[in-house]
């Protein structure tokens, strides 16, 4: 089914990036304020769904050639790996480390090992959601 | 090593994530799964030794102090259950090589098993009631995948009911946890136990205890709540059935044991009486089912229900003999059920049917299978010196000590019925006139029989080595009987 | 708040008992939402105060229930999504979403 709604398609091209940027903002905001990997992942997935609505499956999978199952696997490994790093230092599981860095553009930012964990969560959520939607959607 | 007790949980989930990368390469999938399981077993053995020498191990995730962070606790009971689950899973995985079929192997069969194992081991190890819920959901999600894998019509139909029952019971679990939190203001099981002792077990706490028994009873299939089990368990293929039958209900049983002994031991007149009545009814209902069917799978499935009843009856006595017997019987039952289901799988592979009326005379052609079945059947019924005997002896002794004569007699009578039901399979399938069978290749037969024989041999060792295992079981029961040991270990910092 | 929870539970029970599979799934969704709201009330619902403990903040609510709800929401999201996929597959294979037609046991498949 090739949809040809010009208004929807044009709007999507802009809105997709807005949603995606907002998802990234939410993701980084997650440490001290509401947000985080789960919400960010869901937002990203919804942006991709909007693309799917506006264009068709083939176009989208050409534009975003990810294998979502492998995305889940990477996310899981990243999250677990971060948590397991605490084993190497022989402190209880999930203990996180953090430090402050002077990054260009962002100014002084605190970087946490918890953020890597959140990145894993983000990947798992995007992967899982897209997997489910594609399972149902790819039949038509 | 602070984190040693997490290894049996972490290694399976890491292995599963690695497996997701190459779902289509079956040989690699098998190899990685076996390596992961063996590594977990080694970790669990180390953990067992540590727990035996140094007592209960506890770690709090994220270095938060104990009542606030999530505690993971490993006492003799949980570590032996973890080790048993790992051994059974290894057996089932080897068994699956020849029986599950390539289609399923390519569709995330092994990762699903490992995720389920993560959930099971996590539930056995966790010391936090909400974390218990999370691990329950992990294992349930993986079990949903396993039960529906393959997508036959019957599987789809039964799995919808299975999922629905479990989703509703999870919602009840959350509700109960919310109520518990509002009353005691804590989720750490050791902390809850301490607070309940302080404020006394008021009416609302008894209600919560009963709700918890119901929620876990739904997973563990006790009397009024077992109706979903026979239908759902019969739907998936035999290896999955063996895993479910051996492990999933036992997680519910473990959760009941933990809650009634640790959290709510103060009003045995109500909660334990209720548990005992339900357990006896469960045994009776299971016996009726086991005798009524002529279907191999259903007979053994109803035997799961009987076993659940027997274990909970032992727990409900709340004395050392009863608890020790329950622990003994719990582990015995996990092993023997896995063995029985695997043997059933062999019979079904040979005859091509699970209906007892359509088979017979296998004794002549497959003597090895027949003798293994006989040993497993005697073990299940508890004929000394096989594994079921000692657990049942202690449970009945506990019942007599607690003046529950009739309950003890019913438990004894139930073992006769158990014996009858499995020997009936033996008579119908192995004796009598040989029926024309579908047959199977020698390679598949060996590939299926060898893991089944190994698991059965494990149960024999478990029975013969009772004296050897006694200190471990004694410690496990001691902690159930004296929850203060557990509480002190968790809250020591 | 408790009225809303009661209403959610009521609607959930009604939907779960209905015949269409899709309604059953929506019912389970409502049931878990009811349970989540229950956690919020049970943790002592304290109005609009934030669940943040920092220097100088005196008015805050217990953050634990919110963490629990977040976890529970994630789980119920996953389960519901899986259930929907399952129901869709079942609808394709069995060509019905009527629960009464999904009965059956070994004898009559």
Structure-block tokens of residue A110: 């605190």
Q: Are B313 and B395 in contact, with CB atoms under 8 Å apart?
A: yes
Across the interface, of C70, C78, C85, the residue whose CB is closest to A136 is C85
Query: What's the ipTM?
Result: 0.86
Q: Which residues contact B401 (CB under 8 A, 6 or more apart)?
A: B317, B319, B321, B322
- Average pLDDT of the segment spanning C59-80: 81
Smallest CA–CA distance, residue C15 to chain B, in Å, is 12
Smallest CA–CA distance, residue A136 to chain C, in Å, is 7
Q: Are B178 and C39 in contact, with CB atoms under 8 Å apart?
A: yes
Flag whether residue A132 sits within 8 Å of chain C, measured between CB atoms. Answer: yes
- What pLDDT, in 10s, does the model give residues B361-376? 777 778 888 888 888 8
Residues of C with Cβ-Cβ distance to B151 under 8 angstroms:
89, 93
Asked whether residue C109 is assigned to any structural domain, the reply reads no
Instruction: Tell me how many degrees the CA angle A92-A96-A99 measures, rounded to the nearest 5.
Output: 145
**Residue B88: predicted pLDDT:** 92
Q: Which domain holds residue B188?
A: 4-490
- What are φ and ψ of residue B295, in 5° steps? -110, 125
- What pLDDT, in 10s, does the model give residues B296-306? 888 888 988 99
Q: Is the pLDDT of residue B484 over 60?
A: yes
Residue B406 banded pLDDT, cuts 50, 70, 90: confident
SS3 C20: strand
With CA atoms as reference, the chain C residue closest to B354 would be: C106
Flag whether residue B151 sits within 8 Å of chain C, measured between CB atoms. Answer: yes
Of these ranges, A27-41, A114-128, B42-56, B82-96, the one predicted with the greatest mean pLDDT is B82-96
State what percent of residues in chain B have pLDDT above 70.
97
Q: What is the bridge-based pairing of β-strands A107-112 and A98-103?
A: antiparallel
Residues of C with Cβ-Cβ distance to A129 under 8 angstroms:
81
Cα–chain center distance at B468 = 22
CB pairs under 8 A between B and C: 100
With CA atoms as reference, the chain C residue closest to B185 would be: C43
Q: Is the pLDDT of residue A99 over 60?
A: no
| Domain boundaries of chain A, sorted by first residue | 6-137
Asked whether residue C95 is assigned to any structural domain, the reply reads yes
Q: Give which of B319, B313, B337, B349 is closest to B449, Cα–Cα.
A: B349
Q: Which domain holds residue C79?
A: 2-46+61-100
Q: What is the CATH number of the domain that holds C72?
A: 1.10.287.3510
- What are φ and ψ of residue C20, in 5° steps? -85, 135
| Single pTM value for the model | 0.88
Please name the residue ranges forming H helices in B235-292. 238-243, 249-258, 271-292
Counted domains in chain C: 1
Flag whether residue C83 sits within 8 Å of chain B, measured between CB atoms. Answer: yes
- CA–CA separation, A30 vs B392, rounded Å? 54
- Average pLDDT of the segment spanning B422-448: 78
- CA–CA separation, B31 vs B34, rounded Å? 5
Flag whether residue C88 sits within 8 Å of chain A, measured between CB atoms. Answer: yes
**Residue A2: predicted pLDDT:** 56
- CA–CA separation, B78 vs B135, rounded Å? 14
Counted domains in chain B: 1
Q: Give which of B463, B360, B229 is closest to C105, Cα–Cα.
A: B229
Flag whether residue C81 sits within 8 Å of chain A, measured between CB atoms. Answer: yes
Asked whether residue C85 is assigned to any structural domain, the reply reads yes
Smallest CA–CA distance, residue B105 to chain C, in Å, is 19
- What pLDDT, in 10s, does the model give residues B124-158? 988 888 889 989 998 899 998 888 887 777 788 88
Residue contact B171–C31, C-beta within 8 A:
yes
| Neighbour tally for B268: CB within 10 Å | 17
């Amino acid at each position: 089914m090739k949809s040809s709604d010009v208004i929807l398609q044009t709007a999507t091209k802009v809105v997709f990036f807005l949603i995606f940027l907002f998802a990234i903002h939410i993701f980084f905001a997650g440490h001290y304020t509401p947000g985080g990997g789960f919400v960010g992942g869901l937002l990203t997935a919804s942006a991709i769904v909007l693309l799917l609505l506006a264009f068709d499956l083939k176009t989208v999978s050409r534009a975003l050639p990810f294998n979502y199952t492998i995305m889940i696997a990477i996310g899981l490994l990243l999250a677990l790996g971060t948590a397991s790093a605490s084993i190497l230092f022989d402190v209880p599981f999930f203990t996180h480390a953090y430090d402050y860095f002077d990054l260009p553009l962002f100014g002084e930012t605190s970087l946490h090992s918890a953020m890597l964990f959140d990145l894993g969560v983000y990947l798992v959520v995007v992967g899982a959601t897209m997997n489910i939607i594609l399972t149902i959607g790819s039949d038509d | 090593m602070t984190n040693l007790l997490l290894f049996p949980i972490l290694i399976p989930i890491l292995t599963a994530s690695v497996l997701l990368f190459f779902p289509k390469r079956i040989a690699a999938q098998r190899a990685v799964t076996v390596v992961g399981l063996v590594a977990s077993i080694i970790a669990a053995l180390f953990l067992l030794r540590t727990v035996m020498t140094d007592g209960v191990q506890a770690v709090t995730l994220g270095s938060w102090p104990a009542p606030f962070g999530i505690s993971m606790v490993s006492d003799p009971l949980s570590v032996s259950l973890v080790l048993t689950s790992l051994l059974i899973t290894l057996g089932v995985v080897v068994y699956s090589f020849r029986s599950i079929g390539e289609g399923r192997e390519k569709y995330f069969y092994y990762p699903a098993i490992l995720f389920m194992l993560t959930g099971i081991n996590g539930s056995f190890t966790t010391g936090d009631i909400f974390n218990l819920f999370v691990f329950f959901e992990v294992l349930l999600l993986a079990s949903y995948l396993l039960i529906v894998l393959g997508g036959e019509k019957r599987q789809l139909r039964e799995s919808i009911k299975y999922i629905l029952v479990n989703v509703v019971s999870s919602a009840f679990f959350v509700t109960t946890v919310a109520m518990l939190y509002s009353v005691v203001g804590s989720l750490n099981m050791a902390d809850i136990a301490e607070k309940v002792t302080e404020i006394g077990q008021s009416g609302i706490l008894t209600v919560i205890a009963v709700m918890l028994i119901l929620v876990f009873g739904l997973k563990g299939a006790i009397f009024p709540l077992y109706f979903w089990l026979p239908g759902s368990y019969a739907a998936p293929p035999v290896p999955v059935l063996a895993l479910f039958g051996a492990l999933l209900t036992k997680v519910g049983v473990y959760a009941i044991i933990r809650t009634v002994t640790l959290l709510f031991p103060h009003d045995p007149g109500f909660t334990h009486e209720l548990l005992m009545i339900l357990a006896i009814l469960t045994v009776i209902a299971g016996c009726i089912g086991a005798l009524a069917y002529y279907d191999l799978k259903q007979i053994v499935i109803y035997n799961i229900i009987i076993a659940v009843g027997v274990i909970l009856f032992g727990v409900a006595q709340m004395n050392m003999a009863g608890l020790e017997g329950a622990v003994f019987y719990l582990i015995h039952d996990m092993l023997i059920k896995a063995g029985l289901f695997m043997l059933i799988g062999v019979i079904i592979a040979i005859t091509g049917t699970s209906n007892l009326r359509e088979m017979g005379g296998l004794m002549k052609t497959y003597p090895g299978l027949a003798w293994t079945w006989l040993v497993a059947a005697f073990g299940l019924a508890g004929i000394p010196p096989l594994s079921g005997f000692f657990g049942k002896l202690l449970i009945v002794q506990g019942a007599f000590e607690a003046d529950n004569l009739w309950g003890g007699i019913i438990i004894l009578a139930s073992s006769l019925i158990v014996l009858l039901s499995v020997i009936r399979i033996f008579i119908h399938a192995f004796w009598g006139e040989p029926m024309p069978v579908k047959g199977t290749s020698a390679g598949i037969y060996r590939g299926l029989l060898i893991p089944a024989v190994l698991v059965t041999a494990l149960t024999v060792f478990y029975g013969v080595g009772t004296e050897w295992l006694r200190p471990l079981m004694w410690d496990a029961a001691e902690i159930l009987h004296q929850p203060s040991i557990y509480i002190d270990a968790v809250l020591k910092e | 708040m408790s009225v809303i929870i009661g209403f959610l539970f009521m609607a959930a029970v009604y939907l779960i008992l209905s015949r269409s599979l899709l309604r059953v799934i929506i019912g389970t969704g409502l049931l878990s939402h009811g349970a989540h709201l229950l956690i919020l009330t049970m943790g002592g619902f304290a109005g609009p105060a934030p669940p943040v403990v920092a220097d100088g903040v005196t008015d805050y609510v217990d953050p634990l229930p919110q963490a629990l709800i977040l976890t529970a929401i994630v789980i119920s999201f996953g389960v519901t999504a899986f259930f929907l996929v399952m129901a869709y597959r079942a609808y394709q294979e069995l060509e019905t979403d009527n629960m009464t037609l999904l009965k059956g046991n070994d004898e009559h498949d």
